[in-house]
Amino acid sequence: MPRYRITIEYDGTPFAGWQSQPGGIGVQDAVTAAIQRFSGEHIIVRAAGRTDAGVHALGQVVHFELQKTWDAFRVREAINHHLKPAPVAVLDCAEVDATFDARFSATARHYLYRILTRRAPPVLDRDRVWALRSWLDADAMHDAAGYLVGHHDFTTFRAASCQAKSPVRTLDRLDVSRVGEEIHIQASARSFLHNQVRSMVGSLKLVGEGKWQPHDVQRALDAVDRAACGPVAPAPGLYLVRVDYGAADACSDARSDDGSTEE
């Protein structure tokens, strides 16, 4: 059976998240339905990460199998045709080896969080940024972010409902920069805990407001206590930007992790 890998972008606003679930339409439902319409096959699609309701993606990666072999270009065009009018698009498609797994073969995931800092509300970027009317100190936030980079127990920064087997993760990157009226927070790791990025952003926002000092983030991390975390940042400012995949033999190494990702 041929296996296909597709990279998709989507506006998470109208969806209940990536995953199919009772009481709401997930991005997974839209993609699955589009593939089934053109192929006539019952298929299962699996993604690199299960983004939460309202979270967007610029480079979500998905894999699925079909009984019939199709040209990858035709697969991309057919899925995009049947996705209309859902705010989801397939950016590229390729046939891959049967060992490829969108979730477990991933070697790194990259997220961006956007905070708009101006008094006027967003119009074109409504539901795509966290809109704050106060100015934030990006330099102080960046200094604070440095305390979180590395191999740590991130219990403080994960949702109480997180189902990951271990709260220990290695955060490879957490950078904060100002881009005009926006604060951009970029996070990279092989995998993330449920709500980890949004939890870290919420605490960094307190630093930017001057309510916390940068070293207070270190104290929160060391507390290993969810109660020590700042308020969780809202979903609309978060984007799954890219998922990286290494050599074929990296797949077996990745399976030692539980594959949890930010939702």
The architecture CATH gives domain 3-96: 2-Layer Sandwich (3.30)
Residue-range domain boundaries for the chain: 3-96, 111-240
> Residue 160 has what pLDDT?
87
CA trace torsion 251, 256, 257, 258 (10° rounding): 100
> Residue 249 has what pLDDT?
36
From the list 29, 52, 153, 253, the catalytic residue is 52
Q: pLDDT tens digit string along 137-164?
A: 999 999 999 999 999 999 999 998 898 8
Give the mean pLDDT per block of 10 residues along the chain (263 residues). 97 95 91 96 94 97 96 97 98 97 97 97 96 96 98 95 92 98 98 96 98 97 96 97 75 43 57
What tokens appear for 18 in the block?
A: 């990536």
What tokens appear for 200 in the block?
A: 């870290």
> Residue 250 has what pLDDT?
38
What tokens appear for 199 in the block?
A: 């939890």
The pTM of the full predicted model, rounded to 2 decimals, is: 0.93
Annotation says 249 is catalytic: no
What tokens appear for 170 in the block?
A: 């290695």
CATH topology of domain 111-240: Alpha-Beta Plaits (3.30.70)
Q: Are 3-96 and 111-240 the same fold in CATH?
A: yes
